[in-house]
Structure 1
């Protein structure tokens, strides 16, 4: 997880504030769900969305989010699970869809096993957002012009491909941040390698649904 200063900057970049409604896509252990829950407060809502494609993992990601939602002070959190492309049907319209280190998985056999594609998912996000809603993507950068080549092997994706796919779904690129950029990352090894884990070169984009 990032230090508090970076957490604050990323929340600000995502434009999540008191009263916001947000979807945290594939929340992992729920770190961002907790942060957003604190930020949006009692008038807001956070949907912790676990794709059905990963619900079978041994750490029981759906159970983890349900337990989190039952904690004291987390009444504004709701655990949701459905096929990844059924996002719009599983949640109401929201202000922000947040996707942290997961977009590359849309190009892997794990997520595509039930027929999901990045195109279909981006369309689902578009349908999930209110007019003017924001779609925030943060992920590990791959080598330029590599497309989706390294998504399964290195867990990285070419930032240009992400922009291309999201714009094709009808979004407008609103902002990008180099807060998590790292020139020391050569983009050539797996993100879990001990020499780079936690310090990969990461891009951050904010798109808007017109």
Structure 2
């Protein structure tokens, strides 16, 4: 996670609030699921959505989220799993759909093996998001001109490509933030490289469904 000031700023950027329904897509360790669980409170709902495309991982991501949902005070969390494009079938209409360091994976062989594309997923998000709801994407930035070509190799994606793809699905860019930017990132290393891990240049977009 981030230091407290950046974490607080990201939470404000996501515009989640008490009583909201939030879908946390590919929740990893569940840190953001817990954050949103605290924010939406007992009247809200958080879906910890594990794409079926990654459910077979050895760390048992679905099982881990089901365990998280049993933690005291997490009655508002539900762990669900389905094919990426079937997300609307296992969740309710959402106020916020959150993708943290995952959007680039939509352009990798692992995710696309089952036939899902970024365009398909963005349409699924549009279907599931309430009118006026927020689609928030935070990811590792690739160099200008890289497009989606480094999603597989470096786990990076060019912000302009993300914006183009999401707007093509009918969303409107509501805000972008440089709170996680790092001008010293050369954008040439894999995000797991020790020289840059935890310090990559990030971008953040908030799109609205009209």
SS of aligned partner of 1:23: strand
SS of aligned partner of 1:203: strand
Distance in 2 between residues matched to 1:75 and 1:9, nearest whole Å:
26
Is 1:112 equivalent to 2:104 in the alignment? no
Is 1:86 equivalent to 2:96 in the alignment? no
SS of aligned partner of 1:34: helix
SS of aligned partner of 1:50: strand
Distance in 2 between residues matched to 1:196 and 1:9, nearest whole Å:
22
Q: How does 1:42-81 map to 2 (within 5 A)?
A: 42-81=42-81
Counterpart for residue 97 of structure 1:
97
Counterpart for residue 172 of structure 1:
172
Counterpart for residue 5 of structure 2:
5
Distance in 1 between residues matched to 2:164 and 2:67, nearest whole Å:
37
TM-score when normalising by structure 1: 0.99
Distance in 2 between residues matched to 1:78 and 1:174, nearest whole Å:
28
Structure 1 position 90, deviation (Å): 1.5
Structure 2 spans left out of the alignment, 5+ residues: none
**TM superposition outliers: structure 1 runs of 4+ over 3 Å:** none
Q: Deviations over 1:5-31 (max 9, x none)?
A: 111111110001111110000000100
Counterpart for residue 198 of structure 1:
198
Distance in 1 between residues matched to 2:79 and 2:3, nearest whole Å:
26
Distance in 1 between residues matched to 2:80 and 2:140, nearest whole Å:
25
Structure 1 spans left out of the alignment, 5+ residues: none
Q: Deviations over 1:25-44 (max 9, x none)?
A: 00001000001101111011
Distance in 2 between residues matched to 1:55 and 1:137, nearest whole Å:
21
Distance in 2 between residues matched to 1:106 and 1:35, nearest whole Å:
24
Distance in 2 between residues matched to 1:5 and 1:169, nearest whole Å:
32
Distance in 1 between residues matched to 2:8 and 2:44, nearest whole Å:
18
SS of aligned partner of 2:124: helix
